[in-house]
Structure 1
């Protein structure tokens, strides 16, 4: 505090910077704990409604000091999502028995999901090393309280980090408690990552058997069928999905794209051109346009109009 002009805010900023440079160093946490003991109300005011990376990082440790292990997990998950290139989970408290023995599976699963919020590439050796404490915490949570939905969500992080065998094993563990739709969706995504589209199809079909009115599952399965080149099946699946959610933009766009690819329908490509600019995911929009523009004998001017959307 003496070095920060007596300002708790400046002290938090300084200590969080020290943690960021070496997350495993216990000294900044000890100073932060002392500050929390001496000035709890001032420090609480600093981190309340935290929105900067450094204040959220401080909040994660203060939550730990308050025995709010779920809050600690969620905060460090958010920080990790912003900067996964820093090994935040090497913090001594993250591997402490007080934390791993008390954090709820639901909170740890949500925290794991937050680490992937910004779509960073986690499938590298260096990332796997940084995320090792997460894997260890997941192992403990899975053994302590194997709830199917949290296990499935945690399996998504394992997959993102390239640990596909471990991801499958966690899905199998979830199934041993109760079979749920989400587990099959996660399993399908893992097979897709591995390039085994037939296994992905089988997993999505099992998911649909568990939740047959879920339009999103039909769309997922249709997309895989399109990837396989089976546009007849893709169109049929979209038609089934439309029974449940006929106004859904992504279904309408996918249906138009897959029909245009299958039949060379001018009307369907025109519909896709109308819908595509409103799709929220640019990469998915571009994929649908690629499929549609490969349809037989489509007018060159319509294909050009579709391509302009990709370049806009």
Structure 2
């Protein structure tokens, strides 16, 4: 702290900046550990601000020093999600046997999900290289303490990074313990990424067999059938979902869109226009409008009104 005027806050700021410059360098972590031993109360106070990337990064290592490996994993996952172009996983503690031998599968899976929170493109060679420590951690923890739901969640990260075969293998490992709906949903998403709609449908159907009251699975299937141009099947699937959740906004919008596309119903397109204003997902709203506006013989003024929704 001598170089920072004796200020713990300035010291942490300096050390975390050094970590960001070279996450694999052990020296900044040594300094942070010394600060923690000297001023534990002050550093605990400083790292309570979960809205700051720097403090969450410091928090991840302090959790490791406290033997809170789950907390350490969750924090580094959050940091990685915000800024995946830095190889945060190369931190020496992240590959440490004490961490990998203790962190729970649930926490590592949740941390892996956090790395994807901001929708960055992780399917590149450079990203795969940065995420190599994550792949190793997943391999170690999956072998040490396998559990179906965490395995399925970790498979999502592998898929997002373009490791399709490894993602399928983790799903197969999850199935060998217990078949659950989530694993089939993850497998369906991976087949969708590969571009195989029939395998995607088959996986969603297996998911439905495991959880037949899940309306969102019917919608997933309907969306795949719509991508294939089978709007009769899409309407049928949405109608089945609506029996389970008749007030669900997204279902009602999808049903209106697919009916408009199938039958050219002005009433269905009008319903979609009304519901589209409330849909939380703009890209899905625009997709539904594209489907609906391709319906046969729809009034031009209604189609124009629907298209205007896409510009909002």
Distance 1:140 1:26 in 2: 22
**Alignment-derived partner of residue 125 in structure 1:** 125
Shift in Å, 1:86: 0.3
Asked if the contact 2:49–2:55 (Cα under 8 Å) also holds between the matched residues in 1, the reply is no
2:182 is the alignment partner of 1:182? yes
2:80 is the alignment partner of 1:80? yes
Shift in Å, 1:250: 0.3
Shift in Å, 1:50: 2.9
Distance 1:149 1:236 in 2: 30
Give CA-to-partner distance per residue, 1:80-121, whole Å, 9 cap, x none.
000000000000000000001100000000000000000000
**Alignment-derived partner of residue 157 in structure 2:** 157
Q: Pairwise mapping of residues 190-201 of structure 1 onto structure 2 (< 5 A)?
A: 190-201=190-201
Q: CA RMSD in A?
A: 0.5
Distance 2:6 2:173 in 1: 51
2:257 is the alignment partner of 1:257? yes
Q: Pairwise mapping of residues 247-286 of structure 1 onto structure 2 (< 5 A)?
A: 247-286=247-286
Structure 1 spans left out of the alignment, 5+ residues: none
Structure 2 spans left out of the alignment, 5+ residues: none
Asked if the contact 2:81–2:116 (Cα under 8 Å) also holds between the matched residues in 1, the reply is yes
Asked if the contact 2:77–2:115 (Cα under 8 Å) also holds between the matched residues in 1, the reply is yes
**Alignment-derived partner of residue 70 in structure 1:** 70
2:20 is the alignment partner of 1:12? no
Q: Pairwise mapping of residues 85-234 of structure 1 onto structure 2 (< 5 A)?
A: 85-234=85-234
Give CA-to-partner distance per residue, 1:185-221, whole Å, 9 cap, x none.
0000000001101100000000000000000000001
Shift in Å, 1:46: 0.6
Distance 2:117 2:32 in 1: 27
Asked if the contact 2:86–2:130 (Cα under 8 Å) also holds between the matched residues in 1, the reply is yes
With normalisation by structure 1, the TM-score equals 0.99
Structure 1 residue ranges (4+ consecutive) displaced by more than 2 angstroms after TM superposition: none
Distance 1:89 1:114 in 2: 13
Distance 2:170 2:94 in 1: 21
Asked if the contact 2:152–2:174 (Cα under 8 Å) also holds between the matched residues in 1, the reply is yes
Give CA-to-partner distance per residue, 1:219-276, whole Å, 9 cap, x none.
0010000001110000000000011111000000000000000000000000000000
Distance 1:140 1:53 in 2: 27
Distance 1:250 1:45 in 2: 43
Shift in Å, 1:49: 3.7
Instruction: Report how many aligned residue pairs link the two structures.
Output: 312
Shift in Å, 1:51: 1.9
Distance 2:293 2:302 in 1: 9
* Aligned partner of residue 48 in structure 1, secondary structure: coil
Shift in Å, 1:7: 1.1
Structure 1 window deviating more from structure 2 (44-53 vs 178-187): it is: 44-53
**Alignment-derived partner of residue 43 in structure 2:** 43
Asked if the contact 2:104–2:141 (Cα under 8 Å) also holds between the matched residues in 1, the reply is yes
Shift in Å, 1:277: 1.4
* Aligned partner of residue 79 in structure 2, secondary structure: helix
* Aligned partner of residue 146 in structure 1, secondary structure: coil
**Alignment-derived partner of residue 244 in structure 2:** 244
Shift in Å, 1:6: 1.1
* Aligned partner of residue 278 in structure 1, secondary structure: coil
